[in-house]
């Protein structure tokens, strides 16, 4: 059968999502989901939807949803693309902006989907290695057709100073997609660059701050010509009717989103302080997770011991630079107290 499959597909590795463990006793801190309920308006809109609408195709260009997003960011509807999760936004950017002999750049380590999307399109990958502290420095002679700049970065949770980001995008000859999945948890964002620079697109998702990972809704903001190119090549009805309606009312309810974000920020601070007290190296998170290095205990060993206690965090053992670290999603206060109590027992050698 191998001769029926593209050689590039045979050679590539597929994306491996974070596991989805089941069970009422499992504390799931591995996939950066938001532990709090979304806007109550989501339940209301679902109860009001006429089932007859499901027999018809959804709006192919999500116009009502785009109006709400445009108002949120102070731009025009033509500056907004809406996709089936921000992953579709990323994939379409490669298809729209990278020629077959072009290249895709990204930080390394960063979101592990980027190189896979490049492999799917069989285009060159041009990763930029982060330094020992996970900071970045673009080589002076660096070029790429498209660069994915993750801000804050994952899995490291760090932001990059806009004083460095802005000159980079202004001097870059290709398109820069600034992936801001965690922007609502951060002290700064780059949305203004999407509205002022013709080669910049900023991507957002409802999976994190809006507590809506299950509906698969992402969007991006950018120059209308870039956005128009993405609409040319998207699937005909890429965002279903229910998702469009749920996303629209959730975005309108900024108060609920901000309250949930604030709860996570407060918990993040407390957990970071406790981990530091336990001797962990804790990075200055600007996301809804912590990037930490256990000291005196190997990350894989700690990961396994937590797992035995039904506490699931994320371990990136396939990379030499990340295998000494764990990524810990911020859950509810009770979940994090259970995590910390269990962790303290492990660290003190009582388990």
Is residue 7 located within the same domain as residue 105?
Answer: no
Q: Each residue of 41-72: b (16+ CB within 10 Å) or e?
A: bbeebeeeeeeeeeeeebeebbeebbebbbeb
Is residue 154 located within the same domain as residue 293?
Answer: no
Which residue among 211, 230, 253 closes a domain? 253
How much is the pLDDT for 25? Answer: 86
Following DSSP, what letter does each residue of 92-149 receive, concatenated?
HHHHHH--TT-EEEEEESS-THHHHHHHHTT-EEEEEE--TTS-----TT---SEEEE
- The CATH number for 340's domain is 3.90.1150.10
pLDDT over 70 at 295, yes or no: yes
pLDDT over 70 at 301, yes or no: yes
3-state SS, residue 253: coil
**pTM, full prediction:** 0.95
pLDDT over 90 at 255, yes or no: yes
- Structural domain of 291: 2-37+255-347
pLDDT in tens, 182-192: 999 999 999 99
Least trusted range by pLDDT, from 64-73, 92-101, 252-261, 341-350:
341-350
- The CATH number for 243's domain is 3.40.640.10
Is residue 143 located within the same domain as residue 67?
Answer: yes
Percentage of the chain beyond pLDDT 70 is 99
Q: Which of 151, 215, 214 is nearest to 183 (CA)?
A: 151
pLDDT in tens, 89-126: 999 999 999 999 999 999 999 999 999 999 999 999 99
How much is the pLDDT for 350? Answer: 62
Is residue 49 located within the same domain as residue 27?
Answer: no
What's the whole-number mean pLDDT along residues 155-181?
A: 95
Helix axes 224-233, 85-97, angle to 10 degrees: 100
Percentage of the chain beyond pLDDT 90 is 88
Per DSSP, what are the bridge partners of residue 128? 107
Task: Give the largest CA-CA distance in the chain.
Answer: 61
- The residue whose two tokens read 């002022």 is 196
Helix axes 241-252, 63-73, angle to 10 degrees: 20
Residues 69 and 249: beta-carbon distance below 8 Å: no
How much is the pLDDT for 233? Answer: 98
Tokens of 303: 């990961």
Q: What is the pLDDT confidence band of residue 351, given thresholds at 50, 70 and 90?
A: low
Is residue 59 located within the same domain as residue 168?
Answer: yes
How many separate domains does the chain show?
2
Is residue 105 located within the same domain as residue 213?
Answer: yes
Is residue 59 located within the same domain as residue 135?
Answer: yes
pLDDT over 80 at 1, yes or no: no
Q: Each residue of 271-306: b (16+ CB within 10 Å) or e?
A: bbebbeebebebbebbbbbbbbbbeebebeebbebb
Which residue among 232, 253, 274 closes a domain? 253
Is residue 218 located within the same domain as residue 101?
Answer: yes
Is residue 314 located within the same domain as residue 179?
Answer: no
Is residue 178 located within the same domain as residue 189?
Answer: yes
How much is the pLDDT for 288? Answer: 98
pLDDT in tens, 5-43: 988 888 888 888 888 888 778 999 999 999 999 999 999
Which residue among 209, 226, 253 closes a domain? 253
Q: What angle do CA 198, 243, 186 make, to 5 degrees?
A: 50
Is residue 220 located within the same domain as residue 159?
Answer: yes
How much is the pLDDT for 53? Answer: 92
pLDDT over 70 at 82, yes or no: yes
């Amino acid at each position: 059968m191998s001769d029926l499959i593209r050689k590039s597909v045979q050679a590539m590795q597929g994306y491996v999502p974070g596991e989805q463990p089941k069970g009422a006793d499992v504390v799931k801190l591995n996939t950066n989901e938001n532990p709090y309920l979304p806007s109550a308006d989501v339940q209301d809109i679902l109860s009001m939807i006429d089932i007859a609408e499901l027999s018809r195709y959804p709006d192919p260009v999500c116009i009502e949803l785009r109006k709400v997003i445009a108002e949120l960011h102070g731009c025009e509807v033509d500056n907004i693309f809406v996709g089936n999760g921000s992953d579709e936004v990323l994939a379409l950017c490669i298809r729209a902006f990278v020629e077959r002999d072009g290249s895709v750049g990204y930080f390394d380590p960063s979101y592990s989907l980027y190189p896979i999307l490049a492999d799917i399109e069989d285009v060159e990958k041009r990763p930029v290695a982060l330094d020992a502290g996970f900071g970045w420095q673009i080589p002076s002679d660096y070029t790429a057709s498209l660069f994915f700049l993750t801000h804050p970065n994952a899995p490291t949770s760090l932001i990059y100073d806009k004083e460095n980001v802005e000159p980079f995008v202004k001097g870059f000859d290709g398109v820069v997609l600034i992936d801001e999945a965690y922007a609502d948890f951060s002290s700064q964002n780059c949305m203004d660059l999407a509205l002022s620079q013709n080669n910049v697109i900023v991507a957002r998702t409802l999976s994190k701050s809006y507590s809506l990972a299950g509906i698969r809704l992402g969007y991006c903001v950018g120059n209308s010509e870039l956005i128009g190119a993405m609409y040319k090549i998207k699937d005909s009805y890429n965002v279903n009717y229910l998702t469009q309606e749920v996303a629209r009312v959730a975005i309108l309810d900024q108060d609920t989103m901000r309250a949930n974000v604030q709860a996570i920020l407060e918990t993040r601070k407390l957990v970071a302080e406790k981990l530091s007290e336990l001797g962990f190296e804790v990075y200055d998170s600007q996301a809804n997770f912590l990037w930490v290095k256990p000291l005196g205990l190997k990350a894989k060993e700690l990961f396994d011991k937590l797992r035995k206690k039904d506490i699931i965090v994320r371990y990136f053992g396939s990379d030499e630079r990340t295998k000494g670290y764990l990524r810990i999603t911020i859950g509810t206060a009770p979940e994090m107290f259970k995590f910390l109590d269990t962790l303290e027992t492990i660290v003190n050698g009582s388990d």
